[in-house]
Amino acid sequence: MMKQAVSVLLLLGIILEITGVAAIQLRFMPDPPTLNTYGTHRMNKSDNLDLTCRGRQRLLWSTPPTSTRLSTSDCSGSGLFCLTLTITNATVNETGQYQCYYKDLKVEDGKTAAGIYVFVHDSKVPFVPSEKEYEVVFIREGERVVIPCRGSVENLNVTLNTNYPIKEIHPDGKDSVWDPKKGFILPTHLISYAGVVSCQTRIKNETFKSPLYIVAVVGYKIYDLTLTPVHQRLSVGERLVLSCTAHTELNVGIEFNWTHSGGALNLGSGFHTVSHKKKLWDSLELSNTLIVENVTVDHSGDFTCTASSGQMEKSASAYLTVFGGCTENILLHNVILIKKSQEMDQGGSNSLV
């Protein structure tokens, strides 16, 4: 009997402990916010829409960059935070992704955030306008590119048009597709020659064009990186010149970064750099030279140059030894001391050995 009572108590204790742990976890990771409507919402232009979000912590809404006809109101109550986003007299510009998230937590859809996609139908404006007059789309070889001509309506037959040469690309439904929420998605090689592209669609007899997109091909490959000279010995007051040189494919931009003995190198405190760019036949030579006019003993150590093209990074290292007048004196002094003690050893007792 006693034993049973004890084990029941133990069990109870364990259960209490588990629920306690669960409660703590709940406090740190609340349930995701809830919305009054999910998925995709379709509305006509000039209509209004209320999106209500409830949750256990303070809430915020993120909205499409082009949207302006918005207002929020607090609807908190019965122990829950609540924030209503109202779209008034909607236009195509209000088309896009709306996301409600906990203000103080990392945004993760389904965990700390909930979203809905809104289409505002306007048969006169089938493509969502751009924020800017034109947009630049950077493309890289061997990838798929998204030309962000989003739609205000879903079921459109959209083509991608290039002007030089005049060409019309139809989605094949596999490699190239038009997704009204994202835009025209296709392999880069289909448009890498084109400077400017736009999406087009026909509604009844009328042709509509999306904003223009400028296509810029960018490279990223760094073939090699060298830092020279690899090992250098200088005396205090001499000039240090370290050249970091990268060979890359064309259309690559490089950011150079230096570290000294593992720490960030503070440019300006005696260090300065000079950059050069040279176009070779089918590659680029980009260099960044680190210069110190008067080296000191503190400049001794490892230098590492890192070149980054965004998608690729390479590093190279070199070692510098600086001999100072002061250090030389100490060295000399030590040598004399050692000599003296050796003489003493030879002349006197062996007690020091």
Cβ proximity to ligand NAG: between 112 and 210 the closer is 210
Member of 23, 264, 352, 353 binding ligand NAG (CB under 6 A): 264
204 is an interface residue for ligand NAG by CB under 6 A: yes
300 is an interface residue for ligand NAG by CB under 6 A: no
253 is an interface residue for ligand NAG by CB under 6 A: no
Strands across the sheet containing 49-55: 34-35, 49-55, 81-87, 70-74
Member of 66, 86, 273, 304 binding ligand NAG (CB under 6 A): 66
Q: Are strands 81-87 and 70-74 parallel, antiparallel or unpaired?
A: antiparallel
How many CB atoms within 10 Å of residue 271?
Answer: 18
Alpha-carbon span 54 to 52, nearest angstrom: 7
Member of 42, 124, 181, 278 binding ligand NAG (CB under 6 A): 42
**DSSP notation for 126-173:** -BPPPSSSSEEEEE-TTSEEEE---BSSSS--EEEEETTTTEEE---S
Least distance CB 115 / ligand NAG (angstroms): 20
**Judged by CB under 6 A, how many residues of this single chain contact ligand NAG?**
23
Q: How far is CA 146 from CA 51, 55, 156, in A?
A: 29, 34, 17
Stretch 116-135: interaction string toward ligand NAG, x if CB under 6 A: -------------x-x----
Alpha-carbon span 303 to 231, nearest angstrom: 10
Stretch 323-352: interaction string toward ligand NAG, x if CB under 6 A: ------------------------------
Member of 43, 49, 218, 312 binding ligand NAG (CB under 6 A): 43
Cβ proximity to ligand NAG: between 197 and 254 the closer is 254
272 is an interface residue for ligand NAG by CB under 6 A: no
294 is an interface residue for ligand NAG by CB under 6 A: yes
Structure tokens at 88: 């008034």
Structure tokens at 115: 């979203």
The one-letter amino acid at 26: L
**DSSP notation for 178-199:** EETTTEEEEEGGGTTT-SEEEE
Alpha-carbon span 154 to 96, nearest angstrom: 12
Member of 89, 97, 192, 321 binding ligand NAG (CB under 6 A): 89
How many CB atoms within 10 Å of residue 305?
Answer: 27
Least distance CB 220 / ligand NAG (angstroms): 13
Between residue 142 and residue 181, which ones bind ligand NAG under the rule CB under 6 A? 155-157
93 is an interface residue for ligand NAG by CB under 6 A: yes
76 is an interface residue for ligand NAG by CB under 6 A: no
List of residues contacting ligand NAG (CB under 6 A)? 42-44, 46, 66, 89, 91, 93, 129, 131, 155-157, 204-205, 237, 255, 257, 264, 293-294, 306, 308
